[in-house]
């Protein structure tokens, strides 16, 4: 085992590695959400996060916004899905306390891929004529330099998105720090694109995930992992594919509570009270 | 028409969408689109399995293994023939707004904030047959001009755009879209709906032919298929919808 | 099962789907090489192939060149590795019968990724000052449109590479046409980037590879697969990871024979004689 | 010096390279580079495991799971601190040629064709410490000016280039490289080699300090490590080399 393997931390110590002002990329609710870590971030609370949704966000973003942790959101959408609008997100936008960088899914993927490849931008089709270009002055339209002679072929270019930290939850890691994510390759893209990657997992397994040809295909090598924590049911109340389903009653209760500022405060207080910090 | 009289509003819309997919090779559906998803599964069954249907967020119907970007890459490769989009607002030029209402100068402090543009600002350009779907058919949703263009209905000739809007399906009717004129035409009325009702509830201008047919109802065999095999398939991905529509889950 | 599942063909029928003039992308020797199909292509022989190495090529390219099947090679390198220079490749270049598009590995990956994303080009660092830019007029250098005001930041752009056909060998496929490639993701990139993809496999397995979360992570969905053939030991004499090793004696014998045109002709005649066509 | 007198030529080069990697976090090695690979594994062992070593084509030492592009993406992300490159020709400005000899006007009908540029035209720019390695040290390989620049040794100030050449290791000596002067300096001579021999066999101009030390030999503990644990590790990836060098396989 490498002594350079990423450290195994408690959930709260892992959360403490995510400082104020961090540009933090989070996955969509259908991927692996590190909800236990999010709870610790709200307990502190961390401040002035720049959240990047890869490419959309749900409960994680709404909760962090409600808890006053977020200065800016960059995402293709923020929604609680079948549980309705993300009320804390919507309220924070209306009050003017939240900066919004609206995007579209493939532009977020392209920006992360640019960072993954170490290039300053990626070209992308679509977008031209969308008001997203008006509210995203960092996106530019150029003439395709390879267009046939005499033809103008406008194309958007999306700057690289390099988050400081990627944070997500996965089913398992090994003691070398390799993390199995299966088909959820957007988590690998997040890790490649970010300066640091923190992951909570259901369990640490024996052996080396890279030694099994089947598991290796869905594994992020420890090379990209900065720290790990075990959090059993760490994605709850959101589900984790092939591990457990979403607790829809809990999600609906959150969505209802979060419709008002007071309702959110009560929900958060009860949550922090019920889940004492683990050192 | 006795079978049609028993059709639920959802079944009418499913039956309206399914024929639009006939003959296509690959139809993709977003994760929270049970009516388009049901229509796609119905069209697939009627194709004898020649049509592929990919439903995002589905365990069984989602073939993608390269992460969140694959849907968009796949569409960019020209491998997706039809997709569904919606909008908090849709206007008469088929511009769609998934961001929010109010003057764009007030962005992002919208009067009403929608979730966001998702993949619309890309997929609307590259998928040949985009079907707009919006159950709520009111002047609030179908507006003269959208407040924010998440994705435009048409583009200048020199903009790369192999795709675009094909039709708009609501709880009241079906509009077809002519991209050269950037304008909708009333194509069919759901059972019991009148052209006057459409005029009253539609915020944008559109063309009305001299005679507007009723949205075709499924024949008995198709309806049996929908309420049997398809309903069971739908239940695996959209359990709440299947329970509400067909009482199974 | 979809009736649209890709057809299961014989090796020779699969090879027959690859027509004269095809822009054909092939993997490196360390990935999965469809050597049985290559043999059938030489038997015909196919003509005027434009071979694209993803990103380098070895025995496949040298044999196809020796058999007169190739008009143009686009690759970061052509080599028999520890078995030395690719002599048929070298001889064909010297005689002037072969057009060469020299590249560098990440430029090939970038070109294929551009095709995968449906964009006309990808930007790439490096390259500036390399004579590769002199011999690749299709590669251009532009000023980074996002550079800080007043700064000139030259960056190369690589046009999309869209092969007509991707051809490779893999350990297994299922009856739906899904193909398991494990960590050999360059094969997935080849499939995404190409108009059609033909694959030979060691075996067809029961069930659906996508139903197993571990196997799904290393599987190319049938959506991208145009045709399959079973070829037991279909990568031999090159090895196939976790299945069988390279037959180094056979590879060395080839390398020796291929040093001369006559030696290659004898080698090919013996090979075609020994491996009768299977209908 | 008795231990050194028993060092094989390969061991001398391994011992010359290993110290260049000291303190680095991640060293990557190409698939057919047994001497750099052995040096990297030796440096890793001496780091107490703090150094990562990734060897392409190795079953055990290759951590990559995202296909052929990952090495290059990883380097572009700044996650690879050192890499090894070679060249059919290397010149005094550290330009390397992996394409072929002869006037560039005759491309691609080279007098002698090399395999090709591999990843050099990218990695040479983005990996901070690129060690050039070429066993054959003759005027044929170390030339005044390369016939084809696969990758240049230095770049203009406005070219993005966090990486570049650090040293050149041959079977006769070690040269260090000064990127500001774009010139090599003779850093050390392998046991038994003279400055006159280097002058005779080197096709390019370089600086020779007043006193050129001998390439340091490994201390007995390091040599024991190399011939024990490291040799066994090397054998797993480079069996032919390990058999030839240490008689194990």
Calculate the average pLDDT of chain B.
Answer: 94
* DSSP letter assigned to residue A44: T
pLDDT for residue A274: 86
Q: Which residue in the block uniquely carries the two structure tokens 């990626």? A: A122
Identify the pLDDT of residue C2. 54
Checking if the pLDDT of B6 tops 90, the result is no
3 state DSSP class of B167: strand
Say what the pLDDT of residue D1 is.
Answer: 39
Give the pLDDT confidence of B227-237 residue by residue, as tens digits: 999 999 999 88
B/e letters for A169-189, b = 16+ CB within 10 Å, e = fewer, are bbbbbbbbbbbbbbbbbbbbb
Q: How far apart, in whole angstroms, are the C-alpha atoms of residue C21 and residue C17?
A: 12
pLDDT of residue C176: 95
Q: Per-residue pLDDT averaged across D179-183, rounded?
A: 97
Nearest C-alpha in D relative to C135: D107
Cβ <8 Å between B240 and A78 = no
Q: Give the nearest partner residue to C3 out of B50, B64, B72, using CB atoms.
A: B50
pLDDT digits (tens, 9 = 90+) for B144-201: 999 999 999 999 999 999 999 999 999 999 999 999 999 999 999 999 999 999 999 9
Is residue C200's pLDDT more than 90? yes
Range B39-51 average pLDDT = 94
Residue C47 has a CB neighbour count (10 Å cut-off) of 15
> Is beta strand B165-170 parallel, antiparallel or unpaired with respect to B96-97?
unpaired
For B175, residues 6+ apart whose C-beta sits below 8 A from its C-beta are B167, B168, B169, B184, B185, B186, B187, B206
As a residue count, chain C comes to 279
pLDDT, position B49: 84
Query: What is the set of domains in chain D, with CATH numbers?
Result: 3-246 (3.40.1080.10)
Relative orientation angle of helices B34-46 and B9-17, to the nearest 10 degrees: 50
Tell me whether residues A102 and B155 touch, CB distance under 8 A. no
Contact list in C for residue A113 (CB cut-off 8 A) is 113
Residue A10, burial from CB neighbour count under 10 angstroms (0-12, 13-18, 19+): middle
Contacts of B79 in chain C (CB under 8 A): 223-224
Where exactly are the structural domains of chain C?
Answer: 8-104+163-272, 121-159
Q: B158 to chain C nearest CA, in Å?
A: 15
* CA distance to partner chain D, nearest, from residue C3 (Å): 31
Give dist(CA B206, CA C157) in Å, integer.
Answer: 45
Residue from the list A77, A132, A186 with its beta carbon closest to the beta carbon of B68:
A186
Distance CA A232, CA A226 (A): 20
pLDDT band at B104 (very low <50, low <70, confident <90, very high): confident
**Peptide linkage before D108 cis (omega within 30 of 0):** yes
A interface residues, C as partner, C-beta within 8 Å: 110, 113, 117-125, 140, 142, 144-147, 153, 155, 157, 159, 181-183, 213-218, 241-242
Looking at domain C8-104+163-272, which CATH architecture does it have? 3-Layer(aba) Sandwich (3.40)
* CA dihedral sign of residues C115, C214, D79, A33: positive
Beta strand C227-230 with D26-29: parallel, antiparallel or unpaired? unpaired
Q: CA–CA separation, C88 vs C256, rounded Å?
A: 11
How high is the pLDDT of residue B186? 98
Q: pLDDT tens digits, residue range C3-26?
A: 679 999 999 999 999 999 999 999
Are D149 and C105 within 8 A, CB to CB?
A: no
| CB-based touch C/D (3+ pairs, under 8 A) | yes
B73–C contact, CB cutoff 8 A: yes
Two tokens at C247? Answer: 């037959």
Q: Which chains touch D (3 or more CB pairs under 8 A)?
A: A, C
Closest residue in A to B156 (Cα) is A129
Residues of C in contact with B76 (CB under 8 A): 116-119
User: Using CA atoms, how far apart are residues B156 and B136, in angstroms rounded to an integer?
Assistant: 30
CB-based contact (8 Å) between D27 and chain C? Answer: no
Residues of B in contact with A131 (CB under 8 A): 99, 104, 148-150
d(CA B148, CA B241): 30
What CA–CA distance (Å, rounded) separates D244 from D223? 17
Mean pLDDT by runs of 10 across the 279 residues of chain A is 80 98 97 97 98 98 98 98 95 96 98 98 98 97 93 97 98 97 98 98 97 96 98 97 95 98 98 77
Q: Is A56 within 8 Å of B120 when comparing Cβ atoms?
A: no
Residues of A in contact with D75 (CB under 8 A): 118
Smallest CA–CA distance from C5 into chain B, residue: B50
Query: In this structure, how many other beta carbons lie within 10 angstroms of the beta carbon of residue B181?
Result: 11
* CA trace torsion B80, B84, B90, B91 (10° rounding): 40
Is B125 in the A-facing interface, judged by CB distances under 8 Å?
Answer: yes
CB C224 within 8 A of CB C185: no
Q: Select from C136, A173, A125 the least CA-distant residue to D108.
A: C136
Distance from CA of A123 to the nearest CA of C (A): 7
A238: closest CA of chain B, how far (Å): 14
Q: Which of B115, B119, B152 sits opposite A129 (nearest CB)?
A: B152
User: DSSP letters of B70-108?
Assistant: HHHHHHHTT---EEEE--SEEETT--EE-SEES-GGGTT
pLDDT per position as a tens digit, C35-82: 999 999 999 999 999 999 999 999 999 999 999 999 999 999 999 998
A and B interact (at least 3 Cβ pairs within 8 A):
yes
Q: Which of A90, A79, A258 is nearest to B113 (CA)?
A: A90
Q: For residues B93 and B144, what is the distance between their CA atoms, to the nearest angstrom?
A: 9
Contact between B130 and B81 under an 8 Å Cβ cutoff? The reply is no
Cβ of D50 within 8 Å of Cβ of A118? The answer is: no
Q: Which chain B residues touch A28 with a CB distance below 8 Å?
A: 68
Nearest CA in chain C to B66: C217
pLDDT single digits (tens) C133-171:
999 999 999 999 999 888 899 999 999 999 999 999 999
Q: Does D126 touch chain A (CB under 8 A)?
A: yes
Q: Do A157 and C140 touch (CB under 8 A)?
A: no
Percent of all residues in chain C with a pLDDT value above 70, rounded to a whole number: 98
Give the percent of chain B with pLDDT over 90. 87
C-alpha torsion D149→D150→D156→D160, nearest 10: 180
Instruction: Centre a 10 Å sphere on the Cβ of residue A202 and count the other Cβ atoms it contains.
Output: 20
Is residue B4 over pLDDT 80? no
- Cα separations in angstroms, B107 against A61, A131, B90: 20, 11, 18
- Is there a contact between B131 and A126 (Cβ–Cβ < 8 Å)? no
Q: pLDDT class for B31, splitting at 50, 70, 90?
A: confident
Model confidence band, residue D3 (pLDDT cutoffs 50, 70, 90): very low
Q: Are strands C219-220 and C179-180 parallel, antiparallel or unpaired?
A: antiparallel
Mean pLDDT of D173-189: 98
Contact criterion met (CB < 8 Å) for B158 and A154: yes
Q: Which residue of A has its CA nearest to C139?
A: A146
Nearest to C140 among A122, A145, A217 (CB): A145
pLDDT digits (tens, 9 = 90+) for B61-101: 888 999 999 999 999 999 999 999 999 999 999 999 999 99
pLDDT value, residue B189: 98
What is residue C72's predicted lDDT score, i.e. its pLDDT?
98
What residues contact residue B172 under an 8 Å CB cut-off, 6+ apart?
B137, B189, B190, B193, B197, B198, B201
Most confident segment among B45-54, B98-107, D119-128: D119-128
- CA–CA separation, C6 and C119 (whole Å): 27
Asked if the model's pLDDT at residue D31 lies above 90, the reply is no
Q: Looking up tokens 């309903």, which residue turns up?
A: B231
- C69-83: b or e for each residue (b if 16 or more CB lie within 10 Å)? bbbebbbbbbbbbbb
Please state the length of chain B.
249
Contact predicate C27/C58, CB 8 Å: no
Residues of D in contact with C100 (CB under 8 A): 107-108
Q: Across the interface, do D121 and C107 touch by the CB < 8 Å criterion?
A: yes
Cα angle vertex A45, ends A39, A46, to 5°?
A: 100
CB pairs under 8 A between C and D: 142
In the predicted structure, residue B2 carries a pLDDT above the cut 70: no
């Amino acid at each position: 085992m490498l002594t350079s393997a990423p450290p195994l931390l408690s959930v709260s110590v892992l959360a403490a590695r995510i400082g104020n002002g961090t540009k933090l990329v989070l996955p969509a609710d259908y991927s692996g959400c590190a909800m236990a870590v999010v709870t610790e971030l709200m307990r502190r609370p961390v401040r002035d996060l720049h959240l990047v949704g890869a490419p959309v966000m749900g409960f994680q973003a709404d909760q962090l916004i409600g808890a006053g942790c977020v200065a800016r959101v960059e995402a293709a959408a923020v929604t609680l899905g079948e549980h309705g609008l993300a009320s804390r997100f919507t309220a924070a936008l209306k009050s003017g306390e939240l900066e919004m960088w609206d995007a579209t899914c493939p532009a977020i993927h392209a920006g992360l891929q640019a960072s993954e490849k170490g290039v300053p931008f990626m070209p992308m089709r679509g977008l031209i004529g969308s008001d997203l270009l008006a509210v995203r002055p960092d996106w530019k339209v150029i003439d395709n330099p390879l267009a046939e002679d005499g033809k103008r072929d406008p194309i958007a270019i999306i700057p690289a998105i390099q988050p400081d930290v990627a944070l997500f939850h996965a089913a398992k890691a090994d003691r070398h720090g390799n993390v199995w994510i299966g088909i959820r390759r957007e988590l690998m893209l997040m890790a490649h694109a970010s300066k640091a990657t923190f992951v909570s997992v259901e369990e640490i397994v024996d052996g080396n995930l890279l030694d099994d040809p089947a598991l290796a295909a869905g594994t992020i090598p420890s090379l990209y992992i900065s720290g790990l924590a075990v959090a059993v049911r760490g994605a709850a109340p959101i589900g984790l594919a092939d591990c457990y389903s979403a607790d829809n009653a809990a999600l609906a209760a959150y969505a209802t509570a979060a419709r008002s500022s007071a309702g959110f405060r009560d929900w958060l207080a009860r949550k922090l009270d019920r889940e004492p910090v683990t050192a | 028409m006795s079978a049609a009289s028993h059709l639920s509003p959802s079944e009418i819309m499913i039956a309206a969408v399914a024929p639009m997919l006939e003959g296509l090779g690959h139809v993709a559906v977003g994760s929270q689109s049970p009516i388009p998803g049901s229509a796609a599964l119905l069209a697939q069954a009627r194709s004898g399995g020649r049509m592929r249907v990919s439903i995002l967020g589905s365990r069984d119907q989602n073939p993608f293994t390269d992460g969140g970007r694959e849907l968009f890459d796949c569409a960019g490769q020209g491998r997706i023939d039809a997709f569904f989009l919606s909008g908090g607002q849709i206007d008469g030029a088929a511009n769609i707004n998934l961001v929010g209402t109010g003057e764009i100068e007030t962005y992002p402090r919208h009067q009403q904030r929608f979730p966001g543009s998702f993949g619309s600002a890309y997929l609307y350009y590259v998928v040949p047959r985009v079907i707009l779907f919006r159950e709520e058919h009111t002047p609030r949703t179908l507006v003269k001009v959208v407040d924010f263009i998440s994705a435009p209905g048409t583009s200048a000739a020199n903009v790369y755009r192999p795709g675009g809007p094909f039709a708009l399906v609501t709880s009241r009717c079906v509009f077809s879209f002519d991209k050269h004129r950037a304008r909708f035409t009333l194509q069919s009325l759901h059972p019991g709906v009148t052209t006057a009702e459409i005029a009253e509830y539609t915020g944008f201008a559109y063309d009305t032919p001299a005679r507007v047919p009723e949205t075709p109802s499924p024949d008995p065999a198709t309806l049996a298929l929908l309420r049997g095999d398809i309903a069971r398939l739908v239940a695996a991905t959209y359990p709440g919808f299947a329970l509400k529509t067909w009482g199974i889950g």
